Amino acid sequence: MAQVILGQAVSHPTTRDALRRPAPGPRSVPTPTVPFVSMPAFVRRALVALLPRIVSSSLSSWVPDRATVWADLSRTSSAQADLQLAEMTNFKGMKFAWKPEPWTEHWSGFVLHLPTWTGQHWQIPLVSVAVYFVAIPTLRWLVATRGKWHVRDFAFYWNSSLSLFSWCGVVACVPVLVDSLRQHGFYFT
């Protein structure tokens, strides 16, 4: 609202005018200041070189030593505990749907053997992950140096087998899921 008093326009601020922000001028625009970028190059290189040492010293306070990791990963349960687990036929919680008929005959060898095997061969998953991490850059390097490979047929069979495996999982799991939903509801499924 403008009002003319003795030839001068006077405006009275309204609530809308009070909420409006002024347009930023060339001096009011804040310039981003990044301390790392504004440092000299030799200081930046020194900080980047010290970064692994700083990170490793902060992580070493809570990372267990090699002997502790080895003992924890190679722990196996006792034969008595495995036998109790193998002879289990009923559960305190929700009932197990569609368990095999001869429970002790079918699962006892598997239950007794698996914890011991995984305790003795815990390195296999770690080595598999390490091989996977090495394979990715190696394959990228091979494709970059030798060109692309024709893998259409292999990819078709690989994806088909993965799809078949997934459908087997659907066929195996959906009836159990539907039965569990019917018997126990969504909350306990």
Domain annotation covers residue 161 = yes
Whether residue 132 is contained in a domain is answered as yes
* pLDDT at site 6: 54
Q: Is residue 52 part of a domain?
A: no
Q: Is 32 a domain residue?
A: no
Does residue 57 lie within any of the structural domains? no
Q: Which residue has the higher pLDDT, 170 or 95?
A: 170
Per-residue pLDDT for 179 more than 70? Answer: yes
Query: Is 143 inside a domain boundary?
Result: yes
Domain that holds residue 98: 80-184
How many other C-beta atoms are found inside a 10 Å radius of the C-beta of residue 115? Answer: 16
Read off the pLDDT of residues 3-47 as tens digits, 9 standing for 90 and up. Answer: 555 555 555 555 555 556 556 555 554 555 556 667 788 887 887
The answer to whether 48 and 41 are in contact (CB under 8 A) is no
Does residue 82 contact residue 111 with C-beta atoms inside 8 Å? yes
**Which tokens sit at 72?**
């924890």
Domain assignment present for residue 103? The answer is yes
pTM beyond 0.75: no
Q: Is residue 115 part of a domain?
A: yes
Rounded distance, CA 64 to CA 56, Å?
13
Number of domains the chain is built from: 1
Helix/strand/coil for 125: helix
